Structure 1
Amino acid sequence: METLHKKTLVIGASPKPVRYSNKAIRMLREYGHEVVALAKRAAQVEDVNIQTELPENEKVHTVTMYLTATRQPEYYNLLLKLKPKRVIFNPGAENRELNEKLEAAGIETVEGCTLVMLRTGQF
């Protein structure tokens, strides 16, 4: 188990167990991380509520992105305002434009798989 727990925002969360965002929520919880989940429709994954809006003044360490680049622009301002330590672009979510905006704001970006990062101790 990790000793340093990182509050993580999952963008593109899904209640469907076959979706990688769902697997990430469950694995983040398994590793002891607090999870905030965001999607277009409210739902539930185990003990995590999927919200349609992020609460004001929410503080997160890591954002893990599960939306394709074409669905991400509406989250640009939210991410810049949130100022997480890092944003993980999971496979299929890579976005050069957002990547550049985040790095210009001093936010670390990672192209990787949250599930693999958790399992290999790189999270």
Structure 2
Amino acid sequence: MNDQVSIRVADLIGGPLGISAEDGQKVFEKVLPLLKKSRPVNISFDHVDMVISLFLNVAIGQLYGSFSEDEVKALVRVEGLSGDDMELLKHVVDNAKKYYSNPKGYDAAWQEEASEDEQ
């Protein structure tokens, strides 16, 4: 069995704030190749004081575009988030699973909504 790899988010993003898409992408790009090799990953949010949904969408949500829910559940462990932030992550994951089940449909609906707003 492959050894679990630990990723310390605060070290990777260089601080305690998980608030930008760019920093979320750093986490995603570190996790993605490990999951492709079926390596278990522990994502530690120790010393991260704030996360927002944008960051979590990019860091973790987009994993559901490349892997099944079962694969992510089996290989990814998240620790160090407060109770409120774990609820936010659950919301992000639920939305990601819905989106990646039908991305073309969601994109088309978003485009339709955006063009109605412009009128």
TM-score, reference length from structure 2: 0.33
TM-score by length of 1: 0.32
Give the number of the structure whose residues are more often helix, by fraction.
2
Greater share of strand: 1
Higher relative contact order (CA 8 A, sep 6+): 2
